[in-house]
Amino acid sequence: MNGNIYITGFMGVGKSTVGKALSKLLKRPLIDMDKAISRSSGLSIRSYFKQLGEERFRRAETELLKDIASNERLVVATGGGLPVNPENRAIMRSSGKVIHLDMPLDDYFRRMGNGSNLSRPKWTDRDSVEALYNQRAPMYEDCDYTIDVSSKLPGDCVWEICERLHDNESMDVKLGSSIHSLSISWRVPEELPALIGERKVFAVTDRKVEKLHLSRYIPFMCGSTVFTLPVGERSKSLNNARRLYESMLKCHIGRDGILIAIGGGVVTDLCAFVASTYKRGIPFVLVSTSLVGCVDAAIGGKAAVDLNQVKNPVGCFSLPSSVMLDLRALSTLPLSCRSEGLVEAYKTGLAVNPNLAKIIEKNLDNLMLGDALLLAMVVKLSASAKVGIVNQDFTEKGLRRILNFGHTYGHAVESFNDYKIRHGMAVAVGMIVAVSLSENRGFLDEEISSRTQMTLKRFIRGKVSLPNAHDAWDIMMNDKKNRRGRIGFVLLEGLGSPVFVEDVQPDELTQAIHVVRGLLNG
């Protein structure tokens, strides 16, 4: 995933334009090889060919390519003739993925004309260009993927490249005796009609998602009613549940209708609760557009709303018709939302899949920047890990509790701050507390504890008010995971080895909170 991405193709196919768009999406540097050679030589490509000759130009290309191949995470727009040399093709294949852009030959002439082109020394008359295209075609085929760019905008080509490099994926989620599909896709809207069928659609989103993404969905939800919520945790309330019930009644949504929730965890949580209780349950589809939702919140059949200062005390286990994770939507998330989602993914990695935790630690800078392919990898690994747990313990009677790692004190932090800080930041604090408790009990060695805490510290931006053990205890006593009046914590006996305990004492918690204060103030 960190290898270079080489874009090849014939003259005029749009390598530079697509490369620029791909570079922007993946937050990776772009090298346009023709431009790089022109800058270093001080000559245009046509002048280079005329004054120094094509043979020297091809040597310069190969030397530049070797230098590029010694680096990682570059998007490279190659020259049209570069793949002719088998050495160049070998260098590209060994240091990354090769994407060949192509279109029918007539399209090239429509773009470039039938006569000579002053900026391209190899573009002369139609017969010569056609012969050159046919000569190079077999060399271009030595690639990982070919993308037909005819009649496509650069943005569409970029998404197709992402899909080829990181395929769509689906898996089954078993919720008790019920099974639904989980789709992780770059093309979520296009998959909706098969789920909707002839049903009447009631769609719910929030104002931000409406602005950024609803236009992609409307063509695939013909005749739908759209209900838009304010953005933020406060929307996940019984009052908004009532508003949805009333609107659905007004629209005559029956049990043969379907609710489509498009948004982050607030929207999918609320809608799952509403759909599960409206007329004793109607079909619903959860479409997650946030990283938190894709790695955690939308998966597993939990539905809930907040009440007063307590998070999720009113809820149920729900049975969606399908859950869909929209990979394209992740490209529009601000840093704060990416950070929040990565906290939840890191939680799953520490508790379930240590390889996922290592990937996040190693690539955290680029994940924070928003590399779409890395985020897709994290989503797939996180979703798969959570599905594996949920399939064994849908109603959280035992194993599933491990996914609450960091949430016991984290929810207390969130409540103590009147939900004015992001959920992910509160959970990061809760995870530091849990790691500290684990180390103090001798479960974790100092190196793992320190590395984990330093990673978590990077997710905590701005000021956080930490409740002391006494104040936190009062809040945590209302935690829905508690049994027999005892507060439960998920600790780690090692990476991927969680343990659920109910004997944490206030003085232990005080010591762990002191560690967090020192870490944040250090």
pTM here is 0.92
Q: Label residue 33 by pLDDT band (50, 70, 90).
A: very high
* pLDDT higher than threshold 90 for residue 114: no
Q: The tokens of 245 are what? A: 């019930």
Q: Could you read off the pLDDT of 46-93 as tens digits, one per residue?
A: 899 889 999 999 999 999 999 999 999 999 999 999 999 999 999 999
In three-state secondary structure terms, 407 is helix
Indicate the helix (H) or strand (E) that contains 325: strand 322-326
Handedness of CA 48, 53, 54, 60 (dihedral sign): negative
Other residues' Cβ atoms within 10 Å of the Cβ of residue 416: 21
Res 116: pLDDT = 56
Distance from CA of residue 297 to its chain's centroid?
A: 13
* pLDDT higher than threshold 60 for residue 411: yes
* Percent of the chain with pLDDT strictly greater than 90: 84
Res 113: pLDDT = 65
Q: What is the mean pLDDT of residues 497-512?
A: 94
Q: Could you read off the pLDDT of 368-406 as tens digits, one per residue?
A: 999 999 999 999 999 999 999 999 999 988 899 999 999
Q: Could you read off the pLDDT of 115-142 as tens digits, one per residue?
A: 555 456 566 778 888 888 999 999 999 9
Paired sense of beta strands 169-175 and 178-185, if any:
antiparallel
Separation between Cα atoms, residue 241 and residue 507, nearest integer Å: 40
Q: What is the mean pLDDT of residues 253-278?
A: 97
Which domains are present in the chain? 4-165 (3.40.50.300), 169-381 (3.40.50.1970), 405-521 (1.20.1090.10)
Q: Could you read off the pLDDT of 338-361 as tens digits, one per residue?
A: 999 999 999 999 999 999 999 999
Most confident of 39-48, 310-319, 355-364, 397-406: 355-364
Distances 249 to 45, 222, 439 between C-alpha atoms, Å: 67, 20, 54
Res 119: pLDDT = 55
